[in-house]
């Protein structure tokens, strides 16, 4: 099954606090009136200019193994080597907000509107992740209703370029998805255009499979540690 999903940007829930906006400590002062005003403008721009669309395709374990191997450049040992099993459920995905938002971000910075540009860029990034979360929940609910997953199971997303999965796997992933149908293309370096796009695989299985120690050689080079954050969020 392959499905293209379009979403109304106004339906995407975007929550931003002062910590998100400027990456400061929780003791930071409350939003100034100027920041609050520009944040409201940024959200209005998102609702006007974002065109959220996704393509999702279910695959089976042997198909994922081929796509995951990509051009054979993955790290020798990766979390997905252990997470991916025959019993898991797999969906390839690609999502984008369209070219309009990326162009608007560039325009704002070129005009010297740095605060609004920063906040609009942030709103778009958070909105894209929220859209991806909504897609993940949608397919988890569907699989639970079919009986292929339990309520106690969990679905999480993984993307080429992270956790030892080499970015060159993007080529085979996007060819399989035919993501050009939703306006996504790849550069020679395998980065996606439009800029505000994400892709990868959604894996559904027992929560314990997603819980891995971040002691791989490449973990030391990771700045975000988002794998730890989402384990906490999902109660793993």
**CB 104 within 8 Å of CB 49:** yes
pLDDT at 34: 86
Residue 19 confidence (pLDDT): 42
- Residue 12 contacts residue 22 (beta carbons within 8 Å): no
DSSP 195: S
Nearest to 160 by CA among 200, 204, 219, 217: 200
Return the pLDDT at 218: 81
Given the DSSP bridges, would you call strands 154-158 and 197-205 parallel, antiparallel or unpaired?
antiparallel
Give the pLDDT score at 28. 47
H/E stretch holding 217 reads none
In which element (H, E) is residue 40 found?
Answer: helix 33-49
- Residue 18: the pLDDT is 47
* Biggest CA-to-CA distance, the chain: 54
Domain containing residue 155: CATH number: 3.40.109.40
Q: For position 233, what pLDDT does the model report?
A: 59
Looking at residue 204, its pLDDT comes to: 97
- Residues of the domain holding 87: 2-233
pLDDT for res 231: 62
What pLDDT is attached to residue 215? 82
pTM, entire model: 0.89
The mean pLDDT values, 10 residues at a time, for the chain of 236 residues are 97 73 50 84 96 98 94 91 94 98 96 96 96 97 97 96 94 97 97 97 94 82 74 62
Q: In the chain, how many domains are there?
A: 1
């Amino acid at each position: 099954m392959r499905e293209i999903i379009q979403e109304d940007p106004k339906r995407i829930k975007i929550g931003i606090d002062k910590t998100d906006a400027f990456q400061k400590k929780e003791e930071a002062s409350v939003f100034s009136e100027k920041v609050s005003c520009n944040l409201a403008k940024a959200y209005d721009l998102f609702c006007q200019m974002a065109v959220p669309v996704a393509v999702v395709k279910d695959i089976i374990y042997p198909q994922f193994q081929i796509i995951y191997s990509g051009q054979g450049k993955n790290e020798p040992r990766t979390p997905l080597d252990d997470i991916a099993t025959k019993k898991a459920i797999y969906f390839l995905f690609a999502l984008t907000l369209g070219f309009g938002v990326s162009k608007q971000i560039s325009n704002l910075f070129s005009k010297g509107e740095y605060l609004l540009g920063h906040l609009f860029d942030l709103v778009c990034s958070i909105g894209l992740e929220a859209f991806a979360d909504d897609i993940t929940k949608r397919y988890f609910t569907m699989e639970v209703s079919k009986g292929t997953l339990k309520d106690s199971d969990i679905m999480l997303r993984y993307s080429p370029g992270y956790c030892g999965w080499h970015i060159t796997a993007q080529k085979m992933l996007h060819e399989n998805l035919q993501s050009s149908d939703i306006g996504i293309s790849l550069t020679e370096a395998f980065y996606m255009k439009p800029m505000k796009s994400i892709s990868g695989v959604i894996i559904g299985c027992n929560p314990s499979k997603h819980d891995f120690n971040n002691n791989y050689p490449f973990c030391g080079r990771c700045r975000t540690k988002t794998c730890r954050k989402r384990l906490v969020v999902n109660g793993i």
